[in-house]
């Protein structure tokens, strides 16, 4: 069965520092991978997605993610974090034949001045 693991429940970084949020998935074939961000009291906003092709994908707000099949990972990165990036980040996987998305438990990002 497919699953998504986000090993870091909470990460704190300083403003201007780089960021990497980890995501590992379990699925037998090539998955469709997504990162969503949820600001306090808000809905889920799509940051970026991977369906096929170039394994390094660019998203909104300066985020990028790299699909590594050998590691079953899709880590989210940003070179310089802004205070407004403080939010909850969810990795999700979609699969061929299934209509729904499977989400990880999320990583809460705190940004300190």
Partner 1 sequence: EPEVTQTPSHQVTQMGQEVILRCVPISNHLYFYWYRQILGQKVEFLVSFYNNEISEKSEIFDDQFSVERPDGSNFTLKIRSTKLEDSAMYFCASKVTASQETQYFGPGTRLLVL
Q: Which residues bind partner 1 (CB under 8 A)?
A: 32, 34, 36, 42-46, 49, 51, 90, 92, 94-96, 98-106
Angle at 85 between CA 83 and CA 89, to 5 degrees: 150
Shortest Cβ 32–partner 1 spacing (Å): 4
Non-local CB neighbours of 9 within 8 Å, separated by 6+ positions: 105, 106, 107, 108
Shortest Cβ 18–partner 1 spacing (Å): 26
The residue (of 81 and 104) whose beta carbon lies closer to partner 1 is: 104
Of 112, 111, 61, the C-alpha closest to 86 is: 111
The residue (of 36 and 78) whose beta carbon lies closer to partner 1 is: 36
């Amino acid at each position: 069965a497919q699953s998504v693991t986000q090993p870091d429940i909470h990460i704190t970084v300083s403003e201007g520092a780089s960021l990497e949020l980890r995501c590992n998935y379990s699925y037998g074939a090539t998955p469709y991978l997504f990162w969503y961000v949820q600001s306090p009291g808000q809905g889920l906003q799509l940051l970026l997605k991977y369906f096929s092709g170039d394994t390094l994908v660019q998203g909104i707000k300066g985020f990028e993610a790299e699909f590594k099949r050998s590691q079953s990972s899709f880590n989210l990165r940003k070179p310089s974090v802004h205070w407004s990036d403080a939010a909850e980040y969810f990795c999700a996987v979609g699969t061929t034949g299934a209509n729904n998305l499977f989400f990880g438990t999320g990583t809460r990002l705190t940004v300190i001045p």
